[in-house]
């Protein structure tokens, strides 16, 4: 009734490789090969197929973008940072059969690992993500700092790098912006419109996610988001 879908993602970069905005073409291709080989070795519910952007048909690419599964090269900030050099060389997407486990390769970071599904079962989405990360980590060494946690291109993602989010229908509460903002501030949540950051949602459907990435565990970040969402739903019911 309220939660349309749930999504949890993390960013990861590999040791011994420069970050995507400054990596050379040869190293980018080497990185893609190394990552895709590991992803193809995944088993169980994580088993899937890797699709390089450079060999992807336009029909498949458009469908994946429309389904919000694939990244595009239209972010002006990432473009100015050099994130689209050599586009689309060395980039791709991996997903399992049900498209509930996805990995973006060489977008903003070397890997953007994503678990998602319809409905509000955060525990299932979170567990799938963690198991996927653990399987990947047996073969790849991630860039990590004792002080800052996992290292990412954008400083806002440092630490856990995790963004846990739900697509939430709160049409009544969305007309009480001050109350909504108050709850989001209390639980350190970010509310985005359907078209991304700094956009509104005319029908009251928002992407609600945790703000904090640094100084806490992945589980705490997910729990913080879940508590805030539960509070938003309770207020929506009371209106």
Could you list the residues known to form a binding site for ATP, using ranges. 5-9, 68, 112, 163-167, 192-197
**Closest CA relative to residue 92, chosen from 22, 132, 33, 5:** 33
What distance in Å separates the CA atoms of residue 54 and residue 75, rounded to the nearest whole number?
19
What distance in Å separates the CA atoms of residue 189 and residue 184, rounded to the nearest whole number?
5
CB 48 within 8 A of CB 42: yes
Cα dihedral angle (85, 89, 95, 100), rounded to 10 degrees? 10
- Binding-site residue positions: 5-9, 68, 112, 163-167, 192-197
What distance in Å separates the CA atoms of residue 229 and residue 114, rounded to the nearest whole number?
20
What are the residues whose beta carbons fall under 8 Å from the beta carbon of 70, sequence distance 6 or more? Answer: 61, 64, 93, 104
Length of the chain: 239
| Structure tokens that stand for 198 in this block | 């700094």
């Amino acid at each position: 009734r309220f939660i349309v879908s749930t999504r949890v993602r993390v960013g990861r970069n590999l040791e011994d490789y420069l970050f995507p905005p400054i990596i050379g073409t040869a190293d980018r291709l080497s990185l893609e090969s190394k990552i895709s080989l590991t992803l193809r070795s995944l088993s169980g519910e994580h088993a899937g197929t890797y699709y390089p952007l450079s060999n992807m048909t336009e029909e498949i690419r458009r469908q994946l973008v429309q389904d919000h599964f694939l990244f595009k090269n239209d972010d002006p900030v990432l473009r100015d940072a050099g994130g689209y050099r050599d586009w689309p060389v060395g980039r791709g997407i991996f997903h399992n059969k049900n498209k509930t486990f996805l990995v973006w390769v060489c977008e903003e970071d070397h890997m953007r690992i994503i678990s998602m599904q319809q409905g509000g079962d955060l525990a299932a989405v979170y567990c799938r993500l963690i198991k996927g990360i653990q399987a990947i980590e047996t073969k790849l060494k991630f860039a990590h700092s004792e002080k800052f946690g996992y290292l990412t291109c954008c400083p806002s993602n440092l630490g856990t790098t995790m963004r846990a989010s739900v697509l939430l229908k709160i049409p009544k509460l969305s007309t009480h912006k001050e109350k909504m903002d108050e709850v989001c501030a209390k639980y350190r949540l970010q509310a985005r419109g359907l078209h991304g950051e700094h956009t509104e949602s005319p029908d009251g459907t928002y992407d609600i996610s945790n703000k904090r990435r640094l100084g806490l565990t992945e589980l705490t970040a997910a729990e913080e988001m879940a508590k805030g969402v539960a509070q938003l739903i309770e207020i929506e019911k009371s209106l």
